[in-house]
Amino acid sequence: MAHRVQCSVRYPQPPVHTYHQPGNFIIGSVAYHGCVVTSEILFSEEPLPSLTDIFIFECNSHSSIVPKYYQHFTALVFAVKEINENPQILPNLTLGFNIYDSHNNARKTYYATMLLLSALKRFIPNYIKNNQKNLIAVIGGLDAHISFNMANLLNNYKIPQLIYGSIPLMNDETTGHSYYQMVPREALQYTGILSLLLYFKWTWIGVFIMDDENGERFSQTVLPLFSQKGVCYAFIKRVPLFTDPSQINQVVEHGEEIYNEVMHSTTNVVLFYGESKSTVFLRWIPYFAENPPCLPKAMVWITTAQMELTSQVFQRNWETEIFHGVLSFTIHSNDFPKFKSFVERRNPFSTKGDGFIRDFWKQAFGCVFPDADMADVEENICTGEEKLESLPAPFFEMNMNGHSYSIYNAVYAVAHALHDMSSSRLKHRAMESKMEHQNQQLWQHNNDDNDDNDNKPTETKTVKQGLKSNIIQNIEQKSIQSQLHHFLRSVSFNNNAGDTVSFDQNGEIVAGFDVINWIVFPNQSFHRVKVGRVDPNQVFTINADAITWYSGFNQTQPLSLCNERCHPGFRKKVKDGKPFCCYDCIPCPEGKISDQEDMNDCNKCSEEEYPNTNRDMCIPKEISFLSFEETLGNILVCFVLSFSLVTALVLWTFLKHHSTPIVKANNRDLTYTLLIALLFCFLCALLFIGKPEKLTCLLRQTTFGIIFSVAVSCVLAKTITVVLAFMATKPGSKMRKWVGKRTTTSIVASSSLIQAAVCTVWLGFSPPFPDLDTHSLTKEVVLECNEGSVTMFYCVLGYMGFLAIVSFTVAFLARKLPDSFNEAKFITFSMLVFCSVWLSFIPSYLSTKGKYMVAVEIFSILASSAGLLCCIFAPKCYIIVLRPELNNREHLIRNKA
């Protein structure tokens, strides 16, 4: 026999913090209002002296709320009120809501979510009464772990979840399309933070990361990306979460270490990647000093979008100056004037159904509500006359913040999706009715009139009943939540502030972030100044002039570097064993510059420029060439004209005394040829002075080579004439036929023609041309004649040197031969001078640069030509001009004897 066993199940009581409003459709919300706080002081060790008198934990209260979060509920209620009063969105329909407190606790979050899926006053999971089955969407939560716990349940029912806080990391079991992100995508915020750091050139920063999965993801994926862009880290510290009372104890335990890290770091910028209550941690930092509350050194705090300026109740009178100058990335929001007036009317005695407002009021204003059991109350009584605008900013703000703005948009997104879904269903239902009516008419036409009369009233009545069906009944024919997903993804509207609200293909809202500068006053009043923005297209804008910096910076833009910047003229050199942001500054090497700060390497100037003394800019080089106007050019021109004049005088003297014995000796015509050649040797030097042109470049070396070859050939012919004349004086010598003008003319012509042939080949295959020499001199661009073929140039010099050596050798051997007037010894000296000059020319020419190379060649031309003129013709001129008595045949014959 089977025994019937009776068991009773005791369900937990509904939570104290709830807020309900009935409606045709219900929007659920699991919000964060407060958490259970207890503080057990054990006497096993001495408590921290700087903290024992700072805060008071209310061990006997239900919870310790965060007053700032009450605005989130208010924004939801305000949005529902506006929608219900607007007949254009949901005509003949009303929205309701059920709000439960998650208490920032996993167990409480699961419980609150199950309550949304259960009967209104009975905790029966999966049992939904008629008044509860119209739960169409759930808004929440604030922190990532709350949203994750909610998603674990809501994904099973495919109920849309609109998350207005941190986005949780979903695993394979919980991922799906049931949640929508009212916060812009995280990558957009990372782009904005990086752009902000690079804009102000803050490359040496500290980082605080909340110790959770999102913080781990930020550390593993985002921080390396920042490093690739030149940002490195003075420290990276993890901060415990405030999910339960023990977390506060962890802050107290590790707070001194964190404080010392901030104080002793060389960075002036700290990035805090945190959750909603992370500012509660920041408020602890000044109280870890030796004499609290001692504010730390000047610091720029950069906070992320989930962080709000919040405060626990026990932090009511704590210093808020640490928040002055904070640069916060916040969800883009706008002000609603009606919202402020709506909030001002909130009152714990006149607001019905609000299970949050009494605890909020009590802890925000530090008062108590009178109880019937209380006889005499000495504490501050809550009268309801307290003004919300009198609360300090960490407790409450009258203007809608980013999270509240997201909740407001989330309610409107659901309402517009319902409107679109209702319109679609009405159109579909009307089309079905029309098709039924058309089918009925066709059926009536195919049957006899009697059948028509019998059935027509019935069909017409059916159609009318379908058209009169209520919108809710039409929607309830299918799963309302499943249909709502389609319309939520395609929803797009402009809210009452003029902002467009829509989702992308990933269910993320298409919006940007604002960069807000926090300005905190000594009386804890708070002011937000919008100083920048990151739009959905990743365009970052910032107004640096509108930023109010922390008072320690004296309103000058702070720097945050591991060391001082490398000034222009220096480059960075990484220090061994240090982060890449830490480096030494070394001067740029010679020939290079750095014209910006912190350059990794120095750059070369262009060929037409050169570095200045400080090596921080390039200066255009001066155009340089040997000109007639400059001093060196004038001196050389004077020498050219002087030697040319002397040569012309010598030639004139010889022409005047052409019939004298000393002029006739050693071939008078050859002497004239040599003098004319020397005259042109002096004058060809003028081709090397002045701006190089195409014609002058072609004539310079070739003219010089041919003329000098003629001159040296004449000297060689004179020397050979001396030798032949001596040999011809011997009896029976056959050399007499070689003595004469034909031999000398042949020597001069053949020697000169060989040089002319070499020059012709040179001009035909690789002629000289005007060129710019940008490398020889640092500060000058030299205009020069490029020789074209260096080989041909040295062939010309080599052939001329060959003739000179042959002449010197023959003259040296014939210097003591007896003759009426032996020029061999004078030619020997002249060739010695000539060869010495051109042998010294080659190293001198190669060792000089620019226009001085040209000057060296001109000097060699003048010196060698002057050597020939002086050594050969000076003795003859001396006799002709100064000792004419010696210029006779008898004297020459006597000298010969």
Residue 704 one-letter amino acid:
F
The radius of gyration of the chain's CA atoms, rounded to the nearest angstrom, is 53
CATH class of 9-38+52-183+335-371+391-489: alpha beta
> Residue 404: what pLDDT?
92
Strand locations in 555-611, DSSP E?
Answer: 570-574, 583-587, 592-593, 603-604, 609-611
Highest mean pLDDT among 39-43, 299-303, 454-458: 299-303
Task: Return the DSSP state at 397.
Answer: -
Q: What 3-state DSSP class applies to 471?
A: helix
For the sheet containing 622-624, what is the strand order?
A: 622-624, 780-786, 769-773
Determine the distance from the C-alpha atom of residue 58 to the mean position of all C-alpha atoms in its chain, rounded to a whole number: 51
Lowest-confidence range among 63-67, 199-203, 268-272, 498-502? 63-67
> Residue 517: what pLDDT?
93
Look up tokens 């040569």; give the residue: 647
Nearest to 756 by CA among 702, 701, 700: 702
**Average pLDDT over all residues of the chain:** 79
On whether the CB atoms of residues 326 and 419 are closer than 8 A, the answer is no
Task: Return the DSSP state at 90.
Answer: S
pLDDT tier, 582 (very low <50, low <70, confident <90, very high otherwise): confident
Residue 50, pLDDT > 60, answer no
Crossing angle (nearest 10°) for helices 824-847 and 694-728? 150
Residue 126, pLDDT > 60, answer no
Nearest to 66 by CA among 338, 282, 359: 359
Residue 571, pLDDT > 70, answer yes
Residue that wins the pLDDT comparison between 96 and 65: 96
Report the DSSP pairing between strands 204-210 and 526-534. unpaired
The H or E element that residue 500 is part of is strand 500-502
Domain boundaries, given as residue ranges, for the chain: 9-38+52-183+335-371+391-489, 186-331+513-553, 570-620, 631-896
Distance CA 799, CA 803 (A): 6
CA atoms within 13 A on the CB side of 643: 29
Is 9-38+52-183+335-371+391-489's fold the same as 186-331+513-553's? Answer: yes
On whether the CB atoms of residues 76 and 29 are closer than 8 A, the answer is yes
> Residue 379: what pLDDT?
65
On whether the CB atoms of residues 631 and 625 are closer than 8 A, the answer is no
- All residues at 6 or more sequence positions from 819 whose CB lies less than 8 Å from its CB, including other chains: 722, 725, 726, 896
Helices (H), 295-390: 337-344, 357-365
Distance CA 243, CA 445 (A): 74
pLDDT in tens, 730-746: 555 555 555 556 777 88
The superfamily CATH assigns to domain 186-331+513-553 is: Response regulator (3.40.50.2300)
The DSSP result for 829-858, as a single string, is HHHHHHHHHHHHHHHHHHH--THHHHHHHH
Distance CA 169, CA 793 (A): 80
Residue that wins the pLDDT comparison between 812 and 710: 710
pLDDT in tens, 430-468: 454 554 444 444 444 444 444 444 444 444 444 333 333
Query: Rounded to 5 degrees, what are φ and ψ at 852?
Result: -75, -20
On whether the CB atoms of residues 163 and 181 are closer than 8 A, the answer is yes
pLDDT tier, 174 (very low <50, low <70, confident <90, very high otherwise): very low
Please tell me whether the peptide bond between 141 and the residue prior to it is cis, using omega within 30 degrees of 0: yes
Structure tokens at 84: 């219900």
Strand locations in 261-308, DSSP E?
Answer: 269-273, 300-303
On whether the CB atoms of residues 103 and 18 are closer than 8 A, the answer is no
Query: Rounded to 5 degrees, what are φ and ψ at 105?
Result: -135, 140
Look up tokens 């000093």; give the residue: 289
Look up tokens 């909610």; give the residue: 150
Highest mean pLDDT among 72-81, 120-129, 605-614, 803-812: 72-81
Query: Rounded to 5 degrees, what are φ and ψ at 622?
Result: -80, 145
Distance CA 253, CA 85 (A): 52
Distance CA 868, CA 674 (A): 9
Residue 133, pLDDT > 80, answer no
pLDDT tier, 876 (very low <50, low <70, confident <90, very high otherwise): confident
| 631-896 has CATH 1.10.3720.10 classification | no
Structure tokens at 512: 């940007």
Crossing angle (nearest 10°) for helices 402-446 and 449-467? 180
Residue 505, sorted as left (phi over 0), alpha (psi -120 to 50) or beta, turns out to be alpha
